[in-house]
Structure 1
């Protein structure tokens, strides 16, 4: 008797249309339940995706208020907030590639990140060696002993600041916005929100940094407005640069490197600037 050939059953491949009208296939998850969940999310359409994006933005507002108004400790708020955002993004069907965390992009992202760290370190070194720009590094928040500066640069800033901000703006929010907009719009949109994220911390900058305080001292009651506006603009522009690094490398690690360099190296070089100014 001739053996009957059985048909080969192939798993369905989910497809998703971008705003450009280009159809892309989603990577096939290994678990059937996860696959069915993602297909159901795709079937819900654009309104559901928009609602999920709005939910992420509102969550970021809540985290910002918890940090800068309620005074919650960022050393636990940052990791918990980052994990919650990533869990929500995965539940909503975003892949690791869309989140900038695909394994095959790690090495490229780290190379980009290390290159940016080297460039920022050189710029900061020149900045503190020139007396005309050294005052920009004299921030009283970072007038620290060497041990305190190392703890701040390698633990407090990465865990309490960079982890949440990078996951929030260049990973989760980036992934959700990419479902609605072209790439340049994703970069600009995430960067504008990143700038607005810094409104509350900017309100203390006029008294904490000597260079900023002297620059706005003649503005009277408008000094704080100028500081906040300048901070939002500066951080939004920094967000565009970080977003471009994220776009070019395809990895979150590239923008993480830039973020650490600008913040943590600022603390380390600030210690040196205070010693030179003494």
Structure 2
């Protein structure tokens, strides 16, 4: 079973790191936490997380875990840029340990499944404005803009679920150790992509990668499709995509942006 937890990145790391990197408190109003928690609760109830298809060889070896948790953390833009290997990204699946070792893993790879997702009003407004500015009638396509932003969370969860399933739910650091010891055939790359371990279902077909390059490309196609399916699974009247700006606390700015674009089109 794969569980999901929700927290704020800057609250999870030491105060010294927050100070050293001049980070601010993560943006996490109660309304936003409630929105994301509802979404994650609905997702966790799905069979893909309750009964993931685990690496059969690792299960047979007795090394697989029964349960793991993907730690979903909302982070500031500055936090992602400073403490991940993907500055500018809206989301990151943290497989390797950063130089600052914010979680005190003391290993090259993470000792838990963790993802960071940008929770920054300015980032959100910049992203959706860039999409809306290209349309003649932006209000007609609001759900598309918002979904394109929100799917990042689920895209990163899909990355973590794929890795965890391929690893028999053992964390990346243990995958690296057991692989080096020859205890398991899987390694970090194969768990991340499925290469040599399993085909990936893409556009309804089971696709087997024939090279490292294909494996990376197929992985991205797979998690993009999985992320979209996850987003669609969790949407309800309560957490419809159009309710997200209010949950984030930018409803007024969001409406002002749309009004500006409407006036420009006129």
Range into which the TM-score falls when normalised by the shorter chain: 0.3 to 0.5
Structure having greater relative contact order (Cα 8 Å, sep ≥ 6): 1
Structure with higher strand content: 2
Please identify which structure carries the higher helix content: 1
**Structure 2 length-normalised TM:** 0.35
